[in-house]
Structure 1
């Protein structure tokens, strides 16, 4: 099951390194508590930017609606949010699969006024299927996919290295993932790697994982059957 559409933000700030991020987060209230269901994000030089967030159908059992929060951010934390939008979506509408148009509002109107309206970026997609072997499955976990750019110094641990990501609350034996990438975020000739991980609900224990190394985004390999492995201790 998936929610698709476009994110439109009124402005995209310039950063000294990397690009701002556009993201969509899906949550629901279960037994009086907010439960994270899925998220996707990507660096973006312009707008609108397409998105596709996958949901585990088992995580929607008994729900009548979900809440979507769309953000444009320039870092980490609440102060990094420069534009946002929220929308409540009935499960019946999720099942229909109609694309959404999420228009973000600037947090600071003065900052928006000093910026040019963003132009539509050149976008390409990356998708695949993650499989959790039966012996590594648990009742509920978080399944993450992070696409990291390898910097000129060989590292990929900076905030600007995170090109795109997808995460979902998993109660199944695997799930698809999708990422839309802004071509401006990928320097020509630079390779990337795809980190995949199954985490416990506290996100403190890696239950299973895999890494696709030396990923050429101009000609990506077949990612339709990525099997997670037990982590090395």
Structure 2
């Protein structure tokens, strides 16, 4: 498999997709000229607008973006795609549309067969077994929480260590620990903003200048960095 799972699309004070763009270019390589884009996480703006926004950035690295929503045959488009890009937004909306069009197994087979997959935010969540570690509000109801199951671990994108000042609700860590009470056999990766996970040739690595926080039922949460062995996430 070739996966690039990105926490967030935009860093504060930077243009859209600016920080991950060099990594996306390096990941896709010179062989990919066009990507099939999944805009289904968009809620307050149109799929056309989302496609245009992503195309504007990808044009900087010489890659054409074609949104799947234009296709008359979604499965055929997936089977013919050079690479997949799944944008962020609302994870529940994204998964619902994917499930309604019966795309889980078709795309999963292509990715397991080596077709590159890039996802950010909600797009990284749907690479996991489920979307249960998303931060999003369930604005719509998918058929189930089961997603592409491309990795064995769960990702919590945009992970932050503390609640904002004056907020007395649960921390992100507390919410993840609640999830692990219900699903104790899985690792959860708290992927901080500005970071991404790259999986290729049976190796997994963290990219970014921050550590990620690893959670597992019965173990103390721990920090891992770019130089640490992450093979345990394949277990």
Structure that is richer in strand per residue: 1
TM-score, normalised via structure 2 length: 0.29
TM-score, normalised via structure 1 length: 0.30
Structure that is richer in helix per residue: 2
